[in-house]
Amino acid sequence: MKVIQSKTIQPEVKTLLFYATKKVDSEYRLYIECPERMLYGYFIEENIVGCIGIAKIDQKQCELKPYCRIPSLS
């Protein structure tokens, strides 16, 4: 698992996020601009196959954002 921090959204990441939300660009921007959010990608070899977001709510809580994966891996 790797942190995704690119200022520009990669096509593969955009496709994955689209499975979880139709507001892909605005959601991705939140992960990049907000220090309370982290986006992680799951990779098989060099190919991203899934991602999950984590948002800090307060000092003791965080929220897992929608997990998305390539549908062909189900």
φ/ψ of 47, rounded to 5, equals: -105, 130
| Max CA separation in the chain (angstroms) | 37
Residue 72 lies in a domain: no
Q: Which domain holds residue 13?
A: 2-64
Residue 73 lies in a domain: no
Rounded to an integer, what distance in angstroms lies between the CA atom of residue 74 and that of residue 24?
22
Residue 11 lies in a domain: yes
The pLDDT confidence band at residue 73, using thresholds 50, 70 and 90, is low
pLDDT given for residue 25 in this prediction: 86
Domain count, the chain: 1
Around Cβ 7, how many Cβ atoms within 10 Å?
8
User: Each residue of 29-72: pLDDT tens digit?
Assistant: 989 999 999 999 999 888 889 899 999 999 999 999 877 887 77
pLDDT given for residue 34 in this prediction: 94
Residue 57 lies in a domain: yes
